[in-house]
A and B are shown apart, each in its own frame.
Chain A
């Protein structure tokens, strides 16, 4: 959620039951402003909170002018001092697949897992993975999988960069309940696979991202209208704890993740 509208966004996202205590909120309001100034970000998002056993991580992301450029991720344990995380890479992602269980809450904690060597006769290699790396890859996975924005909130300029749409007035109510009105907030993957007929209906300045319609597994999003029709809440079932909210016909939208950082692998059985 945007750091500028943090309080309102927290109110709207409170339907999931997990929010922030007043002292954390106050700390965030001040520290995110300083982060924006120091790192010269165009927009700072409060990404969410990852619950650990000993301590929780508070995550923020900074965006530059081009909204689709790779984002910088920062973490903090007390919402005051923020540290920059390294960008995620592929090898790290494969390493992380081995590590299971909850986060400890200590960034220097090391997970050990043994890799079985098949070919050589050497002993099994014990690989140590730091929790910080795990944090980086989990945040990256969550971003790629479930970070969403409503259609029309961003638009693509003819030169390439993607900007925030100042004239976005919110989704109309008829559109707010459809999964096709929400896009993944990441580089599009499936656009080129669309048929020409589908592409003809698209607006190239607005429809340049993947929509949620074709997410696998189907049904991994739960859409609810709260307070009558005046608030749309999308919750991801694949990453439980992820909540996206939007007030139709207004500009308010945002997402937050408050959870343990574990993917719900049982999803197909649970639906």
Chain B
């Protein structure tokens, strides 16, 4: 038993509970004696646990670890060795049931310095004197009534230990129950001299200490004793590195765990309920619909589907450092598939995501099949008409009452008439070319957005509001927005689409050549089709010059529409609008009232600047591998609008273009004057002659946009074809 580290753990002896052997018990009180013979077999058991050599005759000073087998064995050894060495003549045994072991740890730190030498010396003296009283005094256990329930709180792997009920009531006037007596070294059992008359003051002290520790705290049922037991169990089970540094955190965590027990397996965690519901909905997305033959379904799937290849565009956008994570993109794909199954969809595209305060919107741009949409539109219009009719008779009645009452004094009626309402565009034309569906998360229901009216677009240009995430939330602003959040969202989507949907030059072309475009004013063509002969533009060229990109959505006029409509009454307000934009009184154009904007397929280089900055930024996605990278164009006007294009590697038209906008519904870097709005600027540029405009700096400008479209197109066509190695083909006569 030559354990070298006996000395430091000498202090275990202090709080250690001892019981004298039978022979020595004559001086002890009755209580422990009864316990001894029964404890002996338990001592044997514990001995086996501690794997000490000699059996019961020698002091079994095993530490009875009530908790866990994961005890520091060396300590165990130390204490047992010590006691053996010190008490060889006295067959002491520790009371089995008293799990003072853990207490001792706490005490150890406190009393280490104080007790060690002192008690060592004293004990040795006693040994030499052959006094047994030293060891008799410590009554091991608190045979408190609470002892039995201690077993519940001590964690498992504890041996069967028997607690004895408390029977001793020796007078012990020294101890107050309330006073903290943590360091037993100060206790009475330091007084080892045999003059101490009270029987087992040390035992009593230990009992009192334990009773104190078992007091439950004011706010809860947890006592310090149980808490320390749990804490030390946890530490010993988990064995973190450097536990002293995280002692406070562990303390807090243990307490927290006591009061927040994990629920049993029968009940679900209520906090995770929304997560599980969402997961259920998304699981439904993954399960293919209906029964039927697996093979048949696969064949149908392999045919053309309306849903585009979202994963491919997500991959390309990821090269541009833009995009949702790939699993989110896949869920969006499945959600679009679900939309296509529910609605009669002809073409479909994922437009983007708009962030809101409480939730975000995923927007899908959809075109219905011919004839499908009219029904819903009519219903909507009927409702509006009914509402209007209901209002009118009210107005009539009120006027009648007024006339009767006020015959003499007629209140002057205001002569102001509200400006004429600009009619909204037909569906499938202009700003209402596409239908938009929104949902908050893939798996939820898609909601259709109403068509946008010009008044809403005009008002949306003047305000900046965040989206809350609920479609029926009111938009409180000045000037007051005519509609709720769904209308505002639709108006912003229309503006973003008109401003930022771009494609490489030549990807789209006009379908047929129609004569006399100038008569149609600013409308021009509004339809285009894919150019089958498009061969792709090298990525470097796409990055270098903005002239290689064109808008393929119609520009929205200041009126709020894409095609200009003359309201029935005189358009004084619109004249004023134009005047304010130009800050000039005289108009150079012949057609004053009509608003004309740039036509479809206008290159980006024609776009006006914003605060001395180009409205677009082009970038190569990866400078380290330029041959495989894509060209990325980012809008500085609408942060979050990106377009990418990659050069086709083969001869097929594999140039893909996507514009996905994720904005926080802001209209950035635009001061509030109408002059600087992008739309207004374009018309302003066109309207005033060149000498009136300051020369803009920035990217090289191509030819100024003029209404002589025909000639310009021919020139442009020549220029863009110069990179082809083939000789220039003669232009068709119609151009």
Contact = CB atoms under 8 A, between A and B. Distances in A.
Contact of B640 (A17, A19, A174): A17
Most buried by B among A24, A101, A165, A167: A167
A226 B272 CA distance: 13
A270 B621 contact: no
16 contacts: A11-B325, A14-B325, A18-B662, A21-B318, A21-B621, A101-B611, A102-B636, A166-B249, A172-B271, A173-B272, A222-B358, A228-B279, A229-B274, A230-B275, A266-B464, A271-B466
A222 B613 contact: no
Contact of B622 (A19, A21, A101, A226): A21
A22 B639 contact: no
Contacts of A11: 325
A18 B358 contact: no
Most buried by B among A15, A165, A203: A15
Contacts of A20: 321
A227 interface: yes
Most buried by B among A17, A155, A235: A17
A264 interface: yes
B328 A15 contact: yes
Contacts of A22: 318-319
Nearest to B614: A53
B621 A169 contact: no
B196 interface: no
Contacts of A237: 357, 466, 664
B648 interface: no
Interface in B669-725: 669
A18 B612 CA distance: 25
Interface of A: 11, 14-24, 49, 51, 53-54, 78, 101-102, 155, 165-169, 172-174, 203, 205, 222, 224-230, 235, 237, 240, 259-260, 262, 264, 266, 269-271
A260 B639 contact: yes
B613 A228 contact: no
A53 B636 contact: yes
A13 B622 CA distance: 22
B324 interface: yes
A101 B612 contact: yes
Nearest to A169: B253
Interface in B230-284: 240, 246, 248-250, 252-253, 271-279
Contacts of A155: 248-249
Interface in B544-580: none
A228 B246 contact: no
A226 B640 CA distance: 20
Nearest to A24: B321
A173 B269 CA distance: 11
Contacts of A165: 246, 249
A101 B253 contact: no
A225 B617 contact: no
Nearest to B621: A21
Contact of A167 (B249, B271, B318, B323): B249
Contacts of B248: 155, 205
A102 B275 contact: no
Nearest to A264: B666
Contact of B666 (A17, A230, A240): A240
Contacts of A24: 321
B261 to A, nearest CB: 14
Contacts of B668: 260, 262
Nearest to A235: B355
Nearest to A266: B464
A235 B357 CA distance: 8
B612 to A, nearest CB: 7
Contacts of B634: 51
Given A15-B360, A222-B356, 18 more contacts: A14-B323, A15-B324, A16-B662, A17-B355, A17-B662, A101-B669, A102-B636, A155-B249, A168-B249, A169-B253, A222-B466, A225-B274, A227-B275, A229-B271, A240-B664, A262-B669, A270-B465, A270-B466
Contacts of A235: 355
B466 A167 contact: no
Given A17-B640, A22-B319, A228-B278, A102 B613 contact: yes
Contacts of A169: 253
Contacts, number: 126
Interface of B: 240, 246, 248-250, 252-253, 271-279, 318-325, 328, 353, 355-360, 441, 464-466, 469, 611-614, 617, 621-625, 634, 636, 639-640, 662, 664, 666, 668-669
A53 B240 contact: no
A21 B360 CA distance: 23
A260 B635 CA distance: 12
Contacts of B640: 17-18
B466 A21 contact: no
A76 to B, nearest CB: 13
B666 A228 contact: no
B358 A166 contact: no
B277 A228 contact: yes
B318 A166 contact: no
A230 B274 CA distance: 9
A205 B248 CA distance: 9
B619 to A, nearest CB: 8
A229 B624 contact: no
Nearest to B319: A21
A18 B662 CA distance: 9
Contacts of B360: 15, 224
A59 B375 CA distance: 54
A68 B321 CA distance: 31
Contacts of B240: 166-167
Contacts of B639: 51, 240, 259-260
Nearest to B318: A21
A227 B355 contact: no
Nearest to A237: B466
A174 B271 CA distance: 7
B731 to A, nearest CB: 38
Contact of A270 (B250, B279, B321, B666): B666
Nearest to B248: A205
Given A14-B324, A264-B666, A266-B464, A228 B358 contact: no
Contact of A228 (B252, B275, B622): B275
A78 B622 CA distance: 10
Contacts of A16: 355, 662
Nearest to B356: A222
A227 B278 contact: yes
Contacts of A230: 272, 275
A250 to B, nearest CB: 13
B322 A23 contact: no
B306 to A, nearest CB: 24
Nearest to A14: B325
Contacts of A222: 356-358, 466
B321 A19 contact: yes
Contacts of B273: 229
Contacts of B623: 78
Nearest to A166: B246
A23 B624 contact: yes
A78 B246 CA distance: 40
B613 A101 contact: yes
A21 B246 contact: no
A173 B271 contact: yes
Contacts of A262: 668-669
A222 to B, nearest CB: 4
